[in-house]
Amino acid sequence: MNALRGERPTIHVSVMEVGGKPPDGWQAVEIGKSIVFRMKHLDDYRTKNWDNRIYDALVLIAAVEYCDKTLKRLAWGWQREIHLAVPVYDVARWQNPEVAGALSSALKFLTGDEWRISFFRREREPDEDVGRQSRLEFGDPGRIVTPFSDGLDSRAVAALLSVGEKSDRLIRVRVGSKRDDRPEEAPFLNIPFAVKSGPDDFPESSARSRGFKFSFLSAIAAYLLGTHQVVMPESGQGALGPSLVQTSHGYEDYRNHPRFLGKMERLFAALFDYQINYCLPRLWKTKGETLREFAALPLEPKEWIDTKSCWQQNRNSSVGHKWRHCGICAACLLRRLSFHAAAVDEPKENYIWEDLTAAEFTRGAAKGFDKITGAMKQYAVAGALHLDHLAELRFAPLHRKKLTRHAWQLSEELSMAHAEVEEKLFGLLERHALEWKAFMKDLGHKSFIAEWLA
């Protein structure tokens, strides 16, 4: 899409039922083609608490993902304008100002874009799309729901929650992997829909809407189970760090931030008349501290070594036809920092960039890897700078006002005293700084990362 400097990219998308026609000037996204429901997995969501708002919410989540991935951001500006029309069963409910306002507020805060979402009445009957009703029986308010993937934090927190008296209380909602590694009778094994782009890949890779998808699916699972608590597994550096350090795009990342999760609580309450409580038990812990506790459990090492962290697409991340983490994006660097801080060994062969002590960037990559690009180096520089700047925040007087303001915002969202939040935030940043300093010391002053930061 072409746009003049000063303009923002705009898209008009109308989600259509089979055979429907969009308004003039709108792009049709057809249910069954661009948004495909996997009936087998959708049936896993069919409990006695099912109603049509669930299906409408799933369509909305998929449509938001489609728009977010379709409209490319410009090099000189982050914000986009997205017009989205979605068919629903209960138009009055979705058009209620409280619901509509909470929805646009959550999406704008999360993605940094202007969302204009409208709703119109569906024509098809529910059973034509939804399939059979399995009506699983739940209703245990003592259960805990957590989004679950192959990520390190996700695996760690699920394992820690499964220890002792909580072992039979935990329900994991699959959000990031196709692996079925739980009993077949367990619900929520897979995301019940897929979003397809057509012959080409989606052009926009920032995908901030993943936070909307994961948190909404987890809340839906809690509602269907009749429980209220959703545990988000992110550690402090991942939940707070992306909103504290200025990005090259100029808009902070709030995907796992308490302020965004608070907006999702208000959206869900307005839509379903049901209170969901998101909690972050590792909010004031570093990822290294979480890994240390995880590794201390009586588990096989593969439980943490086989976890996935990398942001790179699979086609750019293989050596000898075997997938690896890139090892140099922000997510990978935080992972490697955490393994170092936890004193847990990890095979260098987990990464394309096996050697971070190398004096030159290209020399750190594994032998035989021939896909080194300028973009990869940019990812590496950005990742190193992010962790380094996060380590500087606590000790630079220039940032004291910013941290104090952030602590105020967190205290309001978490219903905690400002002084307590500020103390916890400063402690988290201090421990991150100590971990980063020790990590960089072991890399040596001649490593390419040290050279960049110097």
Selection from 431, 421, 420 nearest residue 394 by Cα: 431
Q: Which residues neighbour 50 within 8 Å (Cβ) at sequence distance 6 or greater?
A: 133, 135, 224
Reported for 94-100, long-range contacts at CB under 8 A and 24+ positions apart, including other chains, are: 94/56, 94/119, 94/271, 95/119, 96/270, 98/270, 99/267, 99/270, 99/271
Q: Which residues neighbour 37 within 8 Å (Cβ) at sequence distance 6 or greater?
A: 31, 58, 129, 131, 192, 193
Selection from 65, 85, 70, 100 nearest residue 9 by Cα: 70
| pLDDT: which is higher, 176 or 367 | 367
CB count in 10 Å sphere of residue 136: 17
CB count in 10 Å sphere of residue 355: 16
Would you say residue 286 has pLDDT above 80?
yes
Q: What is the mean pLDDT of residues 121-136?
A: 62
For residues 130 and 443, give the distance between their C-alpha atoms in angstroms, rounded to a whole number.
54
| pLDDT: which is higher, 169 or 179 | 169
User: Would you state the pLDDT for residue 124?
Assistant: 75
Confidence class of residue 128 from pLDDT cuts 50, 70 and 90? low
Selection from 443, 319, 325, 446 nearest residue 387 by Cα: 443
Least confident of 145-149, 215-219, 261-265, 290-294: 145-149
Would you say residue 184 has pLDDT above 50?
no
Confidence class of residue 368 from pLDDT cuts 50, 70 and 90? confident
Would you say residue 248 has pLDDT above 80?
no
- What does DSSP assign to residue 233? -
The secondary structure of 301-333 as a DSSP string is THHHHT-----S-GGGSEETTEE-B-S-SHHHH
Confidence class of residue 236 from pLDDT cuts 50, 70 and 90? very high
Least confident of 61-70, 220-229, 263-272, 314-323: 314-323
Would you say residue 220 has pLDDT above 50?
yes
Would you say residue 55 has pLDDT above 50?
yes
Confidence class of residue 167 from pLDDT cuts 50, 70 and 90? low
For residues 9 and 74, give the distance between their C-alpha atoms in angstroms, rounded to a whole number.
7
| pLDDT: which is higher, 34 or 188 | 34
Q: What is the pLDDT of residues 371-415, one digit of tens each?
A: 898 989 998 999 999 999 999 999 988 889 999 999 999 999 999
123 and 17 Cβ atoms separated by less than 8 Å: yes
Helix/strand/coil for 30: strand
CB count in 10 Å sphere of residue 320: 10
CB count in 10 Å sphere of residue 260: 25
For residues 8 and 79, give the distance between their C-alpha atoms in angstroms, rounded to a whole number.
6
| DSSP-assigned beta bridge partners for residue 411 | none
Selection from 374, 123, 315, 104 nearest residue 212 by Cα: 104
Least confident of 235-249, 343-357, 409-423, 431-445: 235-249
Confidence class of residue 165 from pLDDT cuts 50, 70 and 90? low
Burial class (CB in 10 A: 0-12, 13-18, 19+), 132: exposed
Q: What is the mean pLDDT of residues 416-437?
A: 98
User: Would you state the pLDDT for residue 183?
Assistant: 45
Helix/strand/coil for 203: coil
Q: What percent of the chain has pLDDT over 90?
A: 66
SS3 content of the chain, % helix, strand, coil (to 5): 45, 15, 40
Q: What is the mean pLDDT of residues 197-222?
A: 89
Place of tokens 């909305």: 60
Helix/strand/coil for 375: helix
For residues 263 and 276, give the distance between their C-alpha atoms in angstroms, rounded to a whole number.
11
The secondary structure of 390-440 as a DSSP string is HHHGGG-GGGHHHHHHHHHHHHHHHT--HHHHHHHHHHHHHHHHHHHHHHH
Q: Which residue type is seen at 174?
A: R
Would you say residue 438 has pLDDT above 90?
yes
Would you say residue 4 has pLDDT above 80?
no
CA distance to 105, 233, 424, per residue, from 416 (Å): 23, 20, 11
User: Would you state the pLDDT for residue 171?
Assistant: 86
- What does DSSP assign to residue 364? G
Would you say residue 258 has pLDDT above 60?
yes
Element (H, E) at 335: helix 330-341
User: Would you state the pLDDT for residue 136?
Assistant: 55
CA distance to 11, 142, 241, 388, per residue, from 56 (Å): 21, 27, 33, 43
For residues 206 and 313, give the distance between their C-alpha atoms in angstroms, rounded to a whole number.
12
Q: What is the pLDDT of residues 314-325, one digit of tens each?
A: 666 788 888 899
| pLDDT: which is higher, 174 or 5 | 174
